[in-house]
Amino acid sequence: MDIEGKVIDEQFARILVSVPDLSMSDLILLDKVQKQKRLNDDEIKYLRKKKYIEGRKNNLFLSKALTKNTGNVGLKSTYVKNKSFDDEYFRRLIVQYIEKFGAASRREIDELLMNKLSDVLSAEQKKNKITNLLSYLRIHNVIMVNEKKKWVLVK
């Protein structure tokens, strides 16, 4: 029998020790998540089943349920940055911007939203997310592109 020794972030482990349900192997896996190291499919499945992680396979982060129980402000704020807000919030921001300024170019909308989107997303994923938000608003007849190639509210 081989026992693999792993060094985990002691400060991170101390924070998570405040969550009584965590085993040592849970701590090791969560440390890998925190350090953004790859997990295999079984590890991901296990952590999801326990509701310890959220996000996509290559962009996992600690779940709300887990960070809430630690009482650690740093973990909580990291969770919010990773989770971001729901799509409705971003759609409202776009509409409010256009209401206030009459029109908005794609560059202006990118500037408005890029730093508000989840830190887990790459720049390309953020651009795709904004495209999807604009498409949703266009399809639902809330906004349209005018002759100057700016987004405006549908009258």
23: in domain: yes
Q: Mapping DSSP to helix (H, G, I), strand (E, B) and coil, where does residue 104 land?
A: strand
Structure tokens at 138: 């266009």
pLDDT value of position 105: 96
- How far apart, in whole angstroms, are the C-alpha atoms of residue 94 and residue 107? 12
pLDDT value of position 124: 94
Beta strands in 1-155 (DSSP E): 53-56, 59-62, 143-145, 151-153
Where among 83, 116, 138 does a domain terminate? 83
Give start and end residues of each alpha helix (H) in 18-72.
Answer: 24-34, 41-49, 64-70
pTM, entire model: 0.59
Where among 29, 50, 83 does a domain terminate? 83
Structure tokens at 141: 């007849």
Do 62 and 73 contact (CB within 8 A), yes or no?
Answer: no
Same domain, 122 and 76: no
123: in domain: yes
Dump pLDDT digits (tens) for 15-38.
Answer: 667 777 788 888 888 888 888 788
Same domain, 72 and 100: no
Structure tokens at 42: 């079984």
Dump pLDDT digits (tens) for 101-126.
Answer: 999 999 999 999 998 888 778 899 99
Same domain, 72 and 95: no
Domains identified in the chain, total number: 2
Can you tell me the mean pLDDT for 49-70?
A: 78
Name the residue range of residue 116's domain: 87-153
pLDDT value of position 109: 97
3: in domain: no
CATH number at residue 128: 1.10.10
Residue 139's identity, in one-letter code, is: I
Q: In this prediction, what percent of the chain has a pLDDT beyond 70?
A: 79
What distance lies between CA 110 and its chain's CA centroid?
Answer: 17
Same domain, 38 and 58: yes
pLDDT value of position 87: 86
- CB neighbour burial string for 59-73, b if at least 16 within 10 angstroms, e if fewer: ebbbbeebbebbebe
Comparison of pLDDT for 14 and 149, the residue scoring more = 149
Whether pLDDT at 56 is above 70: yes
Where among 25, 51, 83 does a domain terminate? 83
Whether pLDDT at 70 is above 60: yes
pLDDT value of position 81: 66
Same domain, 128 and 66: no
Dump pLDDT digits (tens) for 89-99.
Answer: 899 999 999 99
